Homo-oligomer: A and B are copies of this chain.
């Protein structure tokens, strides 16, 4: 991948930024190394990202624009279009084809994490060939096709996996916040990206949900092996949830492929039903039984326990109310709890370290 900061991004999120499927756009804005020049969403044109994501100087002034033309008219115009949605099933909305085509005609690179590979589309491939724009399909699986070998972790390595009560509630963000907190506390930490947004942010990894089922654990094992060569505390980005009718097999592949010594359970208080799951009402599981189910499944392959709860308190505007909820959940399940996204990851990392027998920070 390109060096961090070498790209100037425009993120395509037409009509979607305010909705549930924009987690890729938001993740790249918050955690990505490359400057974002604009977000294309004509329904928000003229407004700024800060209205939706808070006052962080990294992104508060990024403008929404109504078209790619408007983005290209900016000073220091973008050189890369990033497809900033992660819809269930990974299709490209038909109405976005024209924008991707236009970007390629203008010589921009196009980066996508969709299941549909843009480079395999004859029209897109021809346009890219003519203009020199590159098509980067982050979800394309590696050529390597190896089953798990039952590799054990190197001595002294701690592998932590984020798991959760649903999709799209912060498993990637929690792993990123913990990686940063560990680094701040003087620990060599590594974030292991397992999805397209994590790959955009960290510049390596594999989008596990596109790997052939037989090789899911083998690929996760290989990612962890690479991470162990670079640090001592490994934070693996979780995917899906253990009880999700569509994604549970990916979740199990991560649990059994990473064989984490510890899991961090991510939950959004106030979310009662699954997101992205219109089939029927499917209430989220109560935490204590769900924690036990994770430990049962993990222990079928290697010892592991849920050591802490990471809460996404975004449904509660008031900080003191959020802190009350965090304390109540911690009492209910008997584990440390925190919202690393809202209040920073230091407390949660210190608690995890203590649970795993290390010195508190």
Contacts and interface: CB of A to CB of B under 8 A. Distances in A.
A341 B257 CA distance: 33
Interface residues of A, number: 47
Interface in A286-301: 293, 296-297, 300-301
A210 interface: yes
A296 B242 CA distance: 11
Contacts of A90: 145, 214
B285 A293 contact: no
Given A89-B145, A89-B146, A301 B213 contact: no
A33 B245 CA distance: 35
Nearest to A219: B213
B217 A209 contact: no
**Most B CB atoms within 10 A — which of A213, A218, A256, A297?**
A213
A199 interface: no
A128 interface: no
B249 A213 contact: yes
A243 interface: yes
Contacts of A149: 279
Given A209-B213, A293-B296, A148 B245 contact: yes
A208 interface: yes
Contacts of A249: 213, 216-217, 249-250, 252-253, 256-257
Given A150-B245, A248-B256, A249-B253, A214 B209 contact: yes
B253 A245 contact: no
Interface of A: 88-90, 115, 141, 145-151, 208-214, 216-218, 242-250, 252-253, 256-257, 259, 277, 279-280, 282, 285, 293, 296-297, 300-302
